[in-house]
Structure 1
Amino acid sequence: MLQNPPRASIIEDLEDLYENAPCGYLSLDPSGRIFKVNKTLCNWVGYAPEHLVGKRLGDLLNIAGRMFYETHIAPLLRMQGFFNEVALDLVAQNGERLPVIANAAERRAADGSVISTRITLLKAADRRRYEQGLLNARDQSRSSEAVARAILKDERETSQLREQFIAVLGHDLRNPLASISAGARILLRRTEDEAEVRVLDMMQTTVTRMSGLIDNVLDLARGRLGGGISLGRDADLPLQPVLAQVVDELRTTMPDRVIERDFRIIDPVDCDRSRIGQMVSNLLGNALTHGAADKPVRIGASTANGMFELWVANSGEPIPDAVMAHLFQPFFRGEVRASLQGLGLGLYIAFQIAEAHDGTLTVASTAEETRFTFRMPLR
């Protein structure tokens, strides 16, 4: 007569099935951070489970996958609660790319709030073989110097065309994005239903994030195409209200965080107020993301001795020297400082804005404080 196995044995079997499954499993908390991951995925990427806990899925992706996830997959997941059969490339600890197919589903509470997100990852071996075939074909074609020169020329032209496409696409995205924002505001004024208000607030937050991503991508394209960051300087208009508005917007977006400000701008500042506001938004967003959650983020601005100085500081772990050397490069995000969201362009754009104003943007990081400081001549 067959007997039911003991409960402890069933639990042990289920745990083994999860940990050693032929696919990777990970779970994200409501903020998008990994809180559980199985051994299979850890073995694939070469990290211990404790190294992955607290990170975001984007931290395991290459640049292209990170951009695709932030601009397409994450918004889709928030809107419908799942996505299926999405091709992504993980980056293992040794730097190798691991092609996978991802499926995800959110677990939500009765009020619609996200409890967790479950993601399954399957190895895409056929894709890896296809990519290897392309690499072999490229190596064979480069056996001739004439062919190699032709390929190099074509790659340069393709790169320029790609950046022009990014610039055009960014401009074309503004109008529909503005229409979505305007429509959401109109609907928000006409409804008092809490569920509808939450959805409309989520839409507005997504529009704001997407607008920032478009701005950063456009600025990156301009810089790479040789035009640089454009400025519209005006010393007659006050700068302090712009800085205060940026602080208030971020306080609204992250009500649980404390932002302390100290503005002492007594002289006119010959600058592009919109660009300075963009710089402040990027620096404050970076500080809120990487700073200690239980400590305030501080911002100050002042004029003295013919110079304008602006600084943003946060408490928390210091930036490692290896990360510091690449901090202002595009698409770079330090391993221990995963961005809350975005493509790793914020600090790069802030640095470009500083240079466009004939100023400097520097960073100093200790165990007590990390501080970014922007200085420029008043005229």
Structure 2
Amino acid sequence: MDDAEELYENAPCAYVSLHPSGYILRANQTLVDWLGYSKEELAGKAFHDILSAPGRIFYETHFAPLLRMQVFFDEVALDLSDASGTTMPVLANAREVRDADGAPLSVRIALFRARQRRQYERELLEARRAAEKAREELATLNASLEERVENAVQKRIKLEQGLWYEKQTAKLREQFVAVLGHDLRNPLASIRSGAEILARDPVPEKREKVVTLMRSSIARMSSLIDDMLDLAASRLGKGMAVEMKRVELGPVIQQVVDEVVAGRDEARVETQIDLPDPIECDEGRIGQLVSNLVGNAIDHGSEGEAVRVVSACRNGVLTIRVTNAGGPIPPDVRVRLFQPFSRAEVRAHQKGLGLGLFIASEIARAHKGKLEVESDEKETTFLFSMPQTAPQTVP
């Protein structure tokens, strides 16, 4: 055996030559030793017969067609099956030998053991999967940690806000009690003084004037007490009591506006009321809502500018808009505008418990409506809206 033959037979890789039909023409001794077949047993076998089951499928669907198309390929992973049925991972390099006319003559294949390489690749793949899993777990942990930190921060913020609001509420309660005591004491003092005057001065003209003042004081006290009762009912969860019936609401709104303006010498209110049909509501409560909104608009609007009251019923929705000129409502005031114990800065001559807007919003809610506010640099509008049901026609 010359050197070339010896190198072919005992090369560190396996050589195999195939007929174009895929049968083995010749194999070197290295392949014989790997597989445990004799050369005679290998000769004439189909190449796919020495492959594992997955390798046969791959050979038929990829290996042979690819070789026929491009004449060669390198480093294709295959699994050989030896005489005992044990698989052996290999890498295959193949070349197709063709004649001058391009017709295939044979296929030459070099096979290299790849067990350690496959094991290394598997270890790399497992390491990659482990790394991806660890990265996913870390991402989940980070997300969970961020969420927990965010929740803790939000809870801390809410707690601090709650403490701040609690302090403000306590302060407002003190102010509320002080204002309540002051506002009730004044009309009581007026009534007592009037009673003393009546007792010692029987002049009819003066008596009539004193009685008028006493009635005004009594009305003032009654209004304060009604506000307190409404607040108590709301706080106890009873809600605002309403008695619904169909009424001519336009005259009610106009009368309420006239009453509010009558007690304020410099106030001007322009009304635009378009309510030709009866409205289903509690007319007393709606009057109270309008009175609170108009009084609030006069108190906080620009002096000398008229307050506008616009009311209509369109598409089954009653709306009442009360608009005053003036600067915007500050954001910190706006968020607590409809809460009890909450008052914006008012002018020195203004009095009250600061319950007007809260009670107005409760009246709106009792009518299954809502009270909203819009405020910008030019004007502020309070909008009350409530749905209306079509009246039942009696046959």
On the 8 A contact 2:188/2:217 being kept in 1, the answer is no
- Residue 269 of structure 1 deviates from its aligned partner by 1.8
Q: Does 1:75 align with 2:187?
A: yes
Q: Aligned equivalents of 2:335 and 2:304: distance in 1?
A: 28
Residue aligning to 2:221: 210
Deviations 1:295-338 (A, max 9, x none): 11111110111110001111123211110111101121013567
Name structure 2 gaps, 5 residues minimum: 1-170, 390-395
Which protein, 1 or 2, shows the higher relative CO under an 8 Å CA cutoff with sep ≥ 6? 1
Cα pair distance change 1:78/1:293, threshold 3 Å: farther
Aligned-residue RMSD, C-alpha: 2.8
On the 8 A contact 1:268/1:378 being kept in 2, the answer is no
1:35-114 to structure 2, matched below 5 A, reads: 62-72=175-185, 74-75=186-187
Residue aligning to 1:352: 362
Local SS of the residue matching 1:302? strand
On the 8 A contact 1:282/1:350 being kept in 2, the answer is yes
1:23-38 to structure 2, matched below 5 A, reads: none
On the 8 A contact 2:172/2:342 being kept in 1, the answer is no
Q: Aligned equivalents of 1:70 and 1:213: distance in 2?
A: 8
Cα pair distance change 1:338/1:326, threshold 3 Å: farther
Q: Aligned equivalents of 1:341 and 1:278: distance in 2?
A: 17
Residue aligning to 2:377: 367
Q: Aligned equivalents of 1:254 and 1:344: distance in 2?
A: 18
1:243-322 to structure 2, matched below 5 A, reads: 243-322=253-332
Q: Aligned equivalents of 1:326 and 1:230: distance in 2?
A: 23
On the 8 A contact 1:276/1:353 being kept in 2, the answer is yes
Cα pair distance change 1:358/1:339, threshold 3 Å: farther
- Residue 68 of structure 1 deviates from its aligned partner by 1.2
Q: Aligned equivalents of 1:330 and 1:262: distance in 2?
A: 30
Q: Aligned equivalents of 1:191 and 1:59: distance in 2?
A: 45
Cα pair distance change 1:332/1:297, threshold 3 Å: same
- Residue 268 of structure 1 deviates from its aligned partner by 2.9
Cα pair distance change 1:70/1:63, threshold 3 Å: same
- Residue 279 of structure 1 deviates from its aligned partner by 0.4
Q: Aligned equivalents of 1:284 and 1:191: distance in 2?
A: 36
Cα pair distance change 1:191/1:253, threshold 3 Å: farther
On the 8 A contact 2:190/2:214 being kept in 1, the answer is no
Identity %: 42
Q: Letter of the 1:283 partner, please give it.
A: L
Q: Aligned equivalents of 1:338 and 1:349: distance in 2?
A: 23
Cα pair distance change 1:368/1:76, threshold 3 Å: same
Cα pair distance change 1:338/1:272, threshold 3 Å: farther
Q: Letter of the 2:243 partner, please give it.
A: G
Name structure 1 gaps, 5 residues minimum: 1-57, 82-179, 185-189
Runs of 4 or more, structure 1, over 4 Å off, are 58-61, 76-81, 336-339
Q: Aligned equivalents of 1:309 and 1:60: distance in 2?
A: 33
Cα pair distance change 1:230/1:61, threshold 3 Å: closer
- Residue 226 of structure 1 deviates from its aligned partner by 1.8
Q: Letter of the 1:325 partner, please give it.
A: V
On the 8 A contact 2:274/2:311 being kept in 1, the answer is yes
1:118-133 to structure 2, matched below 5 A, reads: none
1:152-167 to structure 2, matched below 5 A, reads: none
Cα pair distance change 1:355/1:203, threshold 3 Å: same
Counting matched residue pairs gives 212
Q: Does 1:233 align with 2:244?
A: yes
